[in-house]
Amino acid sequence: MDCWCLHGALGMAADWRGFAKRLAAGKTGSRAVDLWRFLECQPMPLADFGPALNADARGEVFRGNGRAVLGYSMGGRLALYSLLEKAHPWQAAVIVSTHPGLESQAERETRRAGDTEWATKALTGNWQEFLAAWNAQPILGHTAPRDPQASGRLVMRRREIARSFVDWSLGAQQPLWDRLQEITVPVLWVAGEHDAKFLALAERAVSLMPRARLAIAPLSGHRVPWEAEEWLAEQVAGFLRAGL
């Protein structure tokens, strides 16, 4: 099964390089998706992302016996939108460190205001200071990027990154809790054992889905693909081979 991998906020397709090698060793193919290209030419609301990604998947030459979508954090939220489209092309999904949506209008407004500030910093502020502030957030556990030089190269995408804080803000997302039951393909929902907030969200999400199960990454916080890469690759490969 081919696994399409969606990176997180301030991430890039190259984030999945080591993970892809580990999947390949387990005889599982993968494709890292550059999410920034969807924002290159014009804004793209969250609701429009699902059809766009699904159209890309349908347009590619099919090489395996199935397709799975894997999304981390922001990429996980985008993956949920693709899975909620009718007649989507995915046979399975892996959702990592993902928030299905804020249920309070006040929370969403607060989040949008905060993300607007991040967007301004991304577009016009000192880039290195912006990256340092982002990585210093408590939710990220102060985990340093694996490749600081690669993170620095993201400055070439600062316009798209700034746009993502507006278009793909958690505050701009309608809560998807009531729609999770519509996702009927097998789902592996992953959270780090030290990421209490997202572990609780994962437990709730799995309880609402017909064919989902929870996998808890040992000794890991929010950045599971970085902190538990080998473990995650083993879990994903086994899940895609065996199904749910």
What are 190-243's pLDDT values in tens digits? 999 999 999 999 999 999 999 999 999 999 999 999 999 999 999 999 999 886
| Angle at the Cα of 191 from the Cα atoms of 186 and 196, rounded to 5 degrees | 140
**What single-letter DSSP state applies at residue 60?**
S
Q: What integer is the mean pLDDT of 165-173?
A: 98
Q: What is the pLDDT of residue 155?
A: 93
User: Do the Cβ atoms of 82 and 179 come closer than 8 Å?
Assistant: no
Return mean pLDDT, the chain: 93
Within a domain: 141: no
Q: Say whether pLDDT at 244 is over 60.
A: no
Taking the alpha carbons of 43, 49, 51, 53 in that order, is the dihedral positive or negative? positive
- The one-letter amino acid code at 49 reads F
User: Where do runs of H (alpha helix) occur along 69-142?
Assistant: 74-83, 105-124, 127-135
- Per the CB < 8 A criterion, the answer to whether 189 and 208 are in contact is no
Whether the model pTM is above 0.85? yes
Q: Which is nearest to 211 in space by CA: 96, 49, 94?
A: 94
Residue 161 covered by a domain: no
Taking the C-alpha atoms of 191, 69, 130 and 141 in order, what is their torsion angle to the nearest 10 degrees? 10
Confidence band for 144, pLDDT divided at 50, 70 and 90 = low
> Three-class SS of residue 169?
coil
- pLDDT at residue number 66: 86
Query: What is residue 27's predicted lDDT score, i.e. its pLDDT?
Result: 87
Residue 84 lies in a domain: yes
- Give residue 202's identity as a one-letter amino acid code: A
- Count of H-run helices and E-run strands, the chain: 10, 6
Q: Is residue 225 part of a domain?
A: yes
User: Side chain identity at 51, as an amino acid letter?
Assistant: P
Q: Is residue 146 scored above 70 in pLDDT?
A: no
Is 60 exceeded by the pLDDT of residue 57? yes
Alpha-carbon span 9 to 98, nearest angstrom: 12
Q: Report CA-CA distances (Å) from 139 to 73, 85, 227, 238.
A: 11, 30, 14, 28
Query: Can you tell me the distance from the alpha carbon of 206 to that of 181, in angstroms, rounded to the nearest whole number?
Result: 9
Examine residue 209 and state whether it is found in any structural domain, yes or no: yes
**Segment 114-137 mean pLDDT:** 95
Task: State the pLDDT at residue 147.
Answer: 65
Greater pLDDT, 73 or 27 = 73
- Give me the domain span that covers residue 18: 2-104+174-242
Q: Domains in the chain: how many in total?
A: 1
Q: How confident is the model at residue 18 (pLDDT cuts 50, 70, 90)?
A: very high
| Residue 224: per-residue pLDDT | 97
Neighbour-count burial of 85, counting CB atoms closer than 10 A to its CB (0-12 exposed, 13-18 middle, 19+ buried): middle
Is 231 contained in some domain?
yes
Q: Is residue 38 part of a domain?
A: yes
Sheet order of strands, 2-6 included: 29-33, 2-6, 67-72, 92-96, 187-192, 212-217
Question: The CATH number of the domain where 28 resides is what?
Answer: 3.40.50.1820
